[in-house]
Amino acid sequence: MLTEIHHSTNRQLLFSFPEGSGDLADQRYALGLTICDNPVCDCSSLYFTLSPWRSAPDDDPDADSDADPDADPDADLDSDSDSDSVEHSEQPVKFAIDINSRELDIQNSPQAEARSIGTTFVETLSEEDWSLLTQAFYQYKRKATDETPDDDIKAEFPADEIERDSTMISFRSILPYAESKILDQDDQRFLVDDLYCVKAKCNCTDIVVRLLDTAMNVDTDERI
């Protein structure tokens, strides 16, 4: 279960392994969370650092309610907090999970011990925990997209295919986590997908607009 403690300058996420988690049962960890800030990267990985939690006498994580999904996702979630209530007596464990598949990201979790703990972590997350992490992920990716200067966006295009077939490029394929454009019509909700010509030496100014039924896109609501 994820809970949080608010300090004067930051908030600290904690994770408690529930009963039935083997040797990890009832152990509490300070949780550090890192998310890729590349606006053109369509990865869905969250990188975690779990550090054993040692609380001061006046710190009571259970006094807080479960982590608030409406809390500012850009608040400090670093487990290396300067708070005096945290003591790191053991090495932190690092692993990654895929927020879409809800599985351990094996490729980005190279250490055997970390994989074992990460697998248990994934298996014990509640729906409320997943909701919090999913919201934090998409809000952070959107913020990174909005705040990255245009000159720093390094998009890659299938140049040969574009020149050969005059393939048009979807805006969402360039910035996959940009804010979605939504159109409601006759009790149906559509995702607006705009495509652009980027063919070399082409002077056209045409834009193709597709309306995608959101009922056919299960992940759309997370990106709206």
| pLDDT single digits (tens) 75-94 | 444 434 333 333 333 788 99
Task: Please report, for the chain, the start and end positions of each structural domain, with discontinuous segments joined by +.
Answer: 2-147, 155-222
Share above pLDDT 90 across residues of the chain, in percent, rounded to a whole number: 40
Give 93-146 pLDDT, tens digit per residue.
999 999 999 999 999 998 898 999 999 999 999 999 999 899 999 999 999 999
Task: Name the DSSP class of 17.
Answer: P
Which residue bears the tokens 């809970």?
Answer: 3
